[in-house]
Structure 1
Amino acid sequence: MRYDVVTELLHLGEGRVLEFTERGPRSGPVVLFHHGMPGSALPMDSVLDSATERGYRVITYSRPGYGGSTRAPGRTVAGAAEECGHLMDHLGVERYLVAGWSAGGPHALSIAATDPRRVSGVLLIASFAPRDAEGLAFVSGMGVQNHVLFGSASGDEEQQRAIVSQMAALVRDSEPAELAAGMASLLPAADAAELAGAYGPDNAAHMNHALADGADGWLDDLRALTSPWGFDPGDIAAPVELWHGALDRMVPVAHGLWLTRRLPTARTRVENGHGHISIGVGSLGDKLDRLRARTP
């Protein structure tokens, strides 16, 4: 991981900025990558290198409230799409793929729903389904920490803030081994092994940057994710490649299977032996190639 990465700021007006980075050849096919929760624009080599080595131009950004991006209290999943549209306009991008991991999945879908002319395909890795999804027990199969986190969604904002602040204190400045111990209920062996490897320090830097100025981004992410998203996944016409680990305890595979039934173009692969982390590390390039083969 190149921890001296310099992020850029897009000025949105009214004193607001959106933080972003670009990796890979500028002439390559463009991918807008949506991070998890918490997360930031700071790119992780263990995740992105497999894509940039295949010639993809990967754009990462910090959702409002994370890293250097200005907070937007009350933001929705669909609302984030407008800022991403401004970012792609700023970069002069006419066609692009969107990829979303974990909490980034719904945000990737929102871009495809609101910018169908430019989005040529969607990659979902271990994505959440809506909290009010019919027939889905949202927290069933999750580890203890996520039961607590998403259980707070039925409380008020102050209750949610208290839970998020406690979790941010665990995450911030933790060594990978400490983080793995604190998140044990969420980590099958495959995920614990990734945290012990190159992904561990990558992820630590990525999340530390996200939480450097506080946990407001995480709180707003939680509230957006567990509120109505503001669009219907069934309206998305672009090809969708959906990947989920059968052992995932952060976002159980039932979420991916629910999305599969609602997304008319989804091609789904459930990987035995993989969890929430291992399903995404080192394989982004291959997954994008499979998606790109289905795009016009």
Structure 2
Amino acid sequence: MRQHRFKMQKSSAEAHLTPRVFDVQMGEGKTVRAYEVGPPDMPLVVGIHGTPDTGLMHVVDYIASGAIFCRLVTFDRQGYGGSTPQPGRKVADVVPIVRSILDHLGADSAAAYGHSGGGMLALATAALLPERITKVACVAGNGPNFGPGGFDYTQGASPRSREEIVDARKGSPASRDFYRRIAGKLASPEVEAQVRPENDLRVATLLKPLRDRIEQQLALPPSPFSEEDAYVDDAQSWVSPWGCELGSITVPTRLFCGLADLMASPFHSEWMQRQIPNAGLMRFPYLGHSLAALMPHVLAWLVSDMLTAVQENALPPDFVSQEH
């Protein structure tokens, strides 16, 4: 009987897992910092980060999982990392950024996902850019501030998350105060224990050395922009109309949530599934708000259709077949 053993060449694997950084010019002096990682000939996925964060964390999760069956491009949202702020922005304002990134890459289309505060942005992109987005996933995301059928953003939320949205409804000064008390201190042990379950804390500890190494490798300069201001812009966009309707999404959609999530209530994902035609929902016990554990699963679903062509062709040159 013949057996095959496939071995990935070390040098090629390392090349695919070495991220690169590039800037996308948006006009009017605005710039978006973007990151790319993965084989260039694999299906393209655009990732949208949460609040407060940068696109780099999604690169870290990708490298940790070794999900090189796809090519990931993510970016710093307005006011975070190296991207120009956009005061007063709405949820739908992410759409021109995604379109510009795809144009910059010369890509006709891509799958997209968003995590946490980026989940609603990914859904908005799917609703408003259906000719460029093939599939969309929302991971640990939030619904709109209000919705039909009595939905309220604060329903099912943890005390801290409820406080965050109640403060946002009061206006920018209250959101700024919340950032200074809570959101800007998510890495501190006393705040982490309030908003992250045990498994999330464990995963974050495991990934921190990898993130530190990648930051050193990329040698990114300190952000010239205020994370506090970017957070306030985010929070105010949550309590404003998104600029699109969930019911208008026509591309395949799936929502993912952890039942132990203390930051984005699973109730939001359950409600949004009912608003989006033919949307799927996957709920995971013991998982919280972290994307890391779900990332390979999310990416695999996003590119599953596109991978069919890859599987039908010859193995990529990264693989060596040895017969015994």
- Tell me by how many angstroms 1:183 deviates: 2.4
1:213 paired to 2:198: no
1:247 paired to 2:260: yes
Correspondences of 1:166-245 after superposition (within 5 Å): 166-167=181-182, 169-171=184-186, 174=187, 179-198=188-207, 202=211, 213-214=225-226, 215-245=228-258
Deviations 1:149-187 (A, max 9, x none): 21111212222223223335424xx5xxxx343222222
Indicate which of 103, 126, 136 corresponds to 1:122: 136
Q: State the distance in 2 between where 1:203 and 1:116 align.
A: 36
Match of 1:286 in 2: 297
Are residues 168 and 76 of structure 1, via their aligned partners in 2, closer, same or farther at CA, if it must alter by over 3 Å? same
- Structure 2, unmatched stretches of 5+, are 1-17, 309-324
Indicate which of 158, 171, 180 corresponds to 1:165: 180
TM-score in terms of structure 1 length: 0.86
Match of 1:151 in 2: 166
Conserved 8 A contact 2:37-2:59: no
Match of 2:151 in 1: 136
Amino acid at match of 1:285: P
Match of 2:319 in 1: none
Match of 1:74 in 2: 88
Correspondences of 1:91-110 after superposition (within 5 Å): 91-110=105-124
Correspondences of 1:37-52 after superposition (within 5 Å): 37-49=51-63
Amino acid at match of 2:274: R
Are residues 218 and 201 of structure 1, via their aligned partners in 2, closer, same or farther at CA, if it must alter by over 3 Å? farther
Conserved 8 A contact 1:77-1:110: yes
- Structure 1, unmatched stretches of 5+, are none
- Tell me by how many angstroms 1:5 deviates: 6.2
Match of 1:57 in 2: 71
Give the aligned length. Answer: 284
Are residues 152 and 109 of structure 1, via their aligned partners in 2, closer, same or farther at CA, if it must alter by over 3 Å? same
Q: State the distance in 2 between where 1:124 and 1:168 align.
A: 21
The sequence identity of aligned pairs, in percent, is: 26
- Tell me by how many angstroms 1:137 deviates: 3.5
Conserved 8 A contact 2:262-2:288: yes
Amino acid at match of 1:123: A
Indicate which of 271, 287, 294 corresponds to 2:284: 271
Match of 1:29 in 2: 43
Conserved 8 A contact 1:50-1:286: no
Which is worse superposed, 133-142 or 149-158?
A: 133-142
Q: State the distance in 2 between where 1:204 and 1:186 align.
A: 26
Conserved 8 A contact 2:47-2:58: no
- Tell me by how many angstroms 1:139 deviates: 2.2
Larger radius of gyration: 2
Are residues 263 and 169 of structure 1, via their aligned partners in 2, closer, same or farther at CA, if it must alter by over 3 Å? closer
CA RMSD after TM alignment? 2.7
Conserved 8 A contact 1:244-1:253: yes
TM-score in terms of structure 2 length: 0.79
Q: State the distance in 1 between where 2:260 and 2:55 align.
A: 27
- Tell me by how many angstroms 1:89 deviates: 0.7
Amino acid at match of 1:213: F
- Tell me by how many angstroms 1:202 deviates: 3.3
Conserved 8 A contact 1:251-1:276: yes
Conserved 8 A contact 2:44-2:70: yes
Are residues 212 and 274 of structure 1, via their aligned partners in 2, closer, same or farther at CA, if it must alter by over 3 Å? farther
Are residues 197 and 51 of structure 1, via their aligned partners in 2, closer, same or farther at CA, if it must alter by over 3 Å? closer
Are residues 169 and 50 of structure 1, via their aligned partners in 2, closer, same or farther at CA, if it must alter by over 3 Å? closer
Amino acid at match of 1:166: R
